Amino acid sequence: MKILIDMNLSPDWVQVFENSGIKSVHWSNIGDPRATDRVIMNWASANGYIVFTNDLDFGSLLAATQAEAPSVIQVRTQDLLPATIGNVVVEALRRFASELESGALITIDLTRSRVRILPIILPAKE
């Protein structure tokens, strides 16, 4: 499992993932900090990374494109510091590892995690 940490999250997450044996990289170390979400998604998909973000636009992109990759982990809490939610995130990564490898959108908050398997097919409008 390889995690690509979005710009809206601290680079401190790299150490949290490394301490848990999970390879990760912060987008600021590999790409343009002003890159669009689509560019980040395309890079993650092409390089076998899972996107870790607080940005709901990634889930919207997955739904709009009905993409099967990359997997996305969305964190939905006010406090995004690794010291506060690091254990919750790592636990969710381990719990949903097979879904993430196959293609999934995981939404994590402090009390629960939700999984949607990719591709996301929205109901047709009548």
Report the C-alpha gap between 109 and 126 in whole angstroms.
33
pLDDT value of residue 50:
98
pLDDT computed for residue 80 by the predictor: 94
For the entire predicted model, the pTM comes to 0.92
Tell me which residues of the chain have a pLDDT lower than 70: 124, 126
Give the pLDDT confidence score for residue 126 in this predicted structure. Answer: 64
In angstroms, the Cα distances linking 28 to 15, 25, 119 are 15, 8, 28
- Tell me what pLDDT residue 112 has: 85
Helix (H) or strand (E) holding 52: strand 50-53
Residue 48 has what pLDDT?
Answer: 97
pLDDT of 24 reads: 98
